[in-house]
Amino acid sequence: MADAKKIAAALLKRYPDARTALEFSNPLELLVAVILSAQCTDVRVNMVTKSLFAKYKRAADYADADLATFEQEIKSTGFYRNKAKAVIAAARKLVQDFGGNVPATLDELTTLPGVGRKTANVVLGNAFGRHAIAVDTHVLRVSNRLGLVHEDDPDKVEVALVAQVPKDKLTTFGSAMILHGRETCIARKPRCPECVLLKLCEYPDKTPV
């Protein structure tokens, strides 16, 4: 089994200030941004939310939004019809059940339409400072290559990583894994010779040094 503590230490030395690339100033903004980020780059989402956040300040503003108008406002993020419905439905749930506030627990967050464990953990870790790790495609791929897990189910990968990684490092570790997956441990041709985790990695198909 790979040494999670050594991997975390090396990765966080490389990315000491790792955090989500999504821009936000409060939990509601991050929640909306994460919903919009599905199958879309963070750069594009940040471009869209800049004007979006200036217009929609409260959950009630999203809840009362005109669906057709909102679809056009987020169209460039892709899958905009489903995303618009999800954001508006989540906002209505916030207004109805949580007084317009974004809840700070996993169980409550995942009652919101369009919000799964990954989205909830991004919000918990980055907006509320909780110890949480969001398993996206990068975390899934990198953790398997490293030998930290041997599992394709994101929920099971989350449980396995939580059991191995120091609790107070979970959020930054997850963000660092995403950066590492984007920059070095890329899907098709990982840049193994320049990887800070090369000696700790169990991946059998490493790119030759």
Q: Any idea which residues carry the catalytic annotation?
A: 118, 136
User: CA-based diameter of the chain, in Å?
Assistant: 57
| Long-range contacts (CB closer than 8 Å, 24 or more residues apart) made by 192-200 | 196/10, 196/11, 196/13, 196/14, 197/7, 197/10, 197/11, 197/146, 200/2, 200/3, 200/6, 200/7, 200/10, 200/146
What is the spatial distance between Cα 102 and Cα 111, in angstroms, rounded to a whole number? 11
Residue the block writes with tokens 């950066």: 179
CA distances from 179 to 35, 78, 79, 118 (A): 19, 22, 24, 16
The amino acid present at 46, given as its one-letter code, is: N
d(CA 92, CA 63): 5
